[in-house]
């Protein structure tokens, strides 16, 4: 890889104005979809080899989101690219004003490992739709997946327009020396800070999609059975390696026992044979994360699960109870299949405790009580979330997806992705048929009176 050369080629290509043509962008998006469809088997296999993830989960959480983003972009690209008229005002009469979206230029997308296809390709789709050239640097952690992504994309597209560059810290550091027009990063908060600093050297705008500890409130009036079903699915999907997975539960003490039983029942129903190498349950990505997660299991507080096997990096769906905010597991994002449960007597106290932590990427509330739902939504700051569900908000591309505070900067998905990769150019257009003398010197008392009357 010669990143300087790729970067220069992309700069030249962008300057040729080819990407300004909307039919070109649509052609590329259609080709991308066709190429991915042709290679689905290869993609399923790579991700299975990397972390034992089932075809169903790969399709549901990766390919379907990518295809949806392509279809949605193609459908709306003309609408999103249109210039938008706005009011002009008396000071510029006669004239018209409008806002023109324009592509930013050469963009860099750095992906995380947990959903390795969609975290690289969904932002790439938005960037292409907005008319940019794209360099993707996927996470090097799932090695086979990274290779397959590079192979598929680089065989189908010219590197002066869309390319995948593989590598880890060293290569990314080298890539970041170039002056990009936009950097879109998904990953940890600590690396997000490094990316932000590298971008600052060139005043490059960034979108940072980071992580955090996403709380899930379960109130006494909830439907316990359905709540347990939705939480178990959201937490143990991809073995908890999801940025918006419920990190921990805050449960009203009066229903704690019932909820714990319902969670256990639901796990047993969803993963009856999970101790086998089951295609329904994902493994932990590497031994480093496996060891980190095993150290978080406090066996004195174990309610369910807690089994593990280092040889195949398996950790069973695990629930810890009697947890307090001071426990070790409450320090950092868990990012694995361990669910700590904290019970509360007083919702205000629980909200206060969450507020003392960094602003999370997501928050979930299970309750039928309008006042409490509203209270939590208004009092807590977080990226986005759901009421009576978890994770699923990210599948609605009409909702911007992103964090706040340490969980991220900016957002994407659907038209928000297009906006993220666009500059909105403001234009005032005048004609020649009328030229009032008002603003020109010499300034007279009469002019002063008129301007005060008009603009006061
Ligand atoms: P990570 O920060 O370790 O790595 C992300 C990317 O940064 C990788 O491509 C990696 O090669 C690169 N990188 C790592 N160290 C670097 C350095 N020193 N300099 C330059 N580049 C570097 O994150 P990860 O382990 O891949 O992902 C897990 C984190 O990502 C979790 O915190 C999770 O919550 C978060 N995440 C967020 C979202 C979201 O949409 N907000 C989605 C998925 C994951």
Task: Determine the pLDDT at residue 295.
Answer: 98
Q: Is 119 in the pocket of ligand 1 (CB under 6 A)?
A: yes
Flag whether 334 is in a domain. yes
Flag whether 332 is in a domain. yes
Beta pairing partners, 274: none
Distance 167 CA to ligand 1 centre (A): 13
Highest mean pLDDT, choosing among 45-54, 327-336, 431-440: 327-336
Q: 164: domain CATH number?
A: 3.40.605.10
- Vertex 51 angle, CA 48 and 53, to 5°: 50
Q: Is 139 in the pocket of ligand 1 (CB under 6 A)?
A: yes
* Residue-averaged pLDDT of the chain: 96
**Of all helices (H) and strands (E), which one includes residue 85?**
strand 84-86
Residue 138 CA: nearest ligand 1 atom is: 9
Task: Determine the pLDDT at residue 275.
Answer: 64
Query: What is the CB neighbour count within 10 angstroms for residue 110?
Result: 25
Angle between helices 143-156 and 40-51 (to 10 degrees): 160
In this structure, the residue with its CA closest to atom 37 of ligand 1 is: 210
Name which of 159, 136, 123 is nearest 11 in CA terms. 159
Distance 118 CA to ligand 1 centre (A): 14
Owning domain of residue 121: 3-210+407-425
Residue 361 CA: nearest ligand 1 atom is: 41
User: What would the pLDDT profile of 258-293 be if each residue is shown by its tens digit?
Assistant: 999 999 999 999 988 766 666 789 999 999 999 999
Distance 72 CA to ligand 1 centre (A): 27
Q: Is 240 in the pocket of ligand 1 (CB under 6 A)?
A: no
Instruction: Look up the pTM and report it.
Output: 0.96
Q: How many domains does the chain have?
A: 2
- Catalytic residue numbers? 209, 243
Q: 312: domain CATH number?
A: 3.40.309.10
Pairing between strand 314-315 and 308-309? antiparallel
How far is Cα 61 from Cα 67, in angstroms, rounded to an integer? 11
Q: Are residues 286 and 245 in the same domain?
A: yes
Q: Are residues 224 and 336 in the same domain?
A: yes
Flag whether 436 is in a domain. no
Distance 92 CA to ligand 1 centre (A): 48
Q: Are residues 118 and 235 in the same domain?
A: no
Q: Are residues 191 and 260 in the same domain?
A: no
Q: Is 408 in the pocket of ligand 1 (CB under 6 A)?
A: yes
pLDDT level of residue 454 (50, 70, 90 thresholds): confident
Q: Are residues 155 and 279 in the same domain?
A: no
How far is Cα 176 from Cα 204, in angstroms, rounded to an integer? 10
Q: Are residues 126 and 222 in the same domain?
A: no
């Amino acid at each position: 890889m010669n990143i300087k050369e790729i970067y220069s080629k992309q700069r030249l290509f962008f300057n040729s104005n080819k990407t300004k043509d909307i039919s070109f962008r649509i052609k590329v998006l259609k080709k991308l979809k066709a190429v991915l469809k042709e290679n689905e088997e290869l993609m399923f296999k790579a991700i299975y080899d990397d972390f034992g993830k089932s075809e169903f989960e790969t399709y549901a959480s990766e390919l379907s989101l990518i295809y949806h983003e392509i279809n949605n972009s193609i459908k709306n690209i003309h609408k999103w690219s249109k210039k938008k008229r706005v009011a002009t005002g008396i000071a510029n009469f006669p004239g018209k004003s409008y806002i023109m979206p324009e592509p930013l230029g050469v963009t860099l997308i750095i992906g995380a490992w947990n959903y390795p296809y969609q975290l690289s390709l969904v932002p790439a789709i938005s960037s292409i739709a907005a008319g940019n050239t794209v360099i993707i640097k996927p996470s090097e952690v799932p090695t086979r997946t990274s290779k397959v992504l590079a192979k598929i994309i680089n065989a189908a597209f010219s590197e002066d327009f869309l390319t995948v560059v593989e590598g880890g810290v060293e290569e990314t550091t080298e890539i970041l020396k170039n002056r990009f027009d936009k950097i879109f990063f998904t990953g940890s908060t600590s690396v997000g800070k490094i990316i932000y600093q590298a971008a600052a050297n060139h005043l490059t705008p960034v979108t940072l999609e980071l992580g955090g500890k996403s709380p899930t409130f379960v109130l006494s009036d909830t439907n316990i059975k359905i709540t347990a079903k939705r939480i178990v699915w959201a937490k143990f999907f991809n073995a908890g390696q999801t940025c918006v997975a419920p990190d921990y539960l805050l449960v009203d003490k009066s229903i704690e026992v019932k909820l714990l039983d319902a969670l256990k029942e639901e796990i047993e129903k969803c993963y009856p044979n999970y101790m086998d190498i089951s295609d329904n349950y994902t493994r932990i990505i590497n031994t480093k994360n496996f060891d980190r997660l095993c150290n978080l299991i406090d066996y004195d507080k174990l309610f369910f699960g807690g089994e593990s096997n280092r040889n195949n990096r398996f950790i069973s769906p695990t629930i810890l109870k009697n947890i307090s905010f001071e426990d070790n597991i409450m320090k950092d994002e868990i990012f694995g299949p361990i669910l700590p449960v904290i019970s509360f007597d007083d919702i205000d106290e629980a909200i206060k405790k969450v507020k003392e932590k960094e602003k999370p990427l997501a928050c979930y509330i299970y309750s039928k009580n309008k006042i409490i739902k509203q209270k939590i939504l208004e009092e807590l700051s977080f990226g986005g979330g759901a009421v009576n569900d978890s994770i699923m908000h990210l599948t609605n591309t009409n909702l911007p997806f992103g964090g706040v505070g340490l969980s991220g900067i900016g957002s994407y998905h659907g038209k928000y992705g297009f906006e993220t990769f666009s500059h909105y150019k403001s234009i005032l257009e005048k004609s020649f048929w009328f030229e009032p003398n008002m603003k020109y010197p010499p300034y007279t008392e009469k002019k002063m009176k008129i301007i005060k009357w008009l603009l006061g």
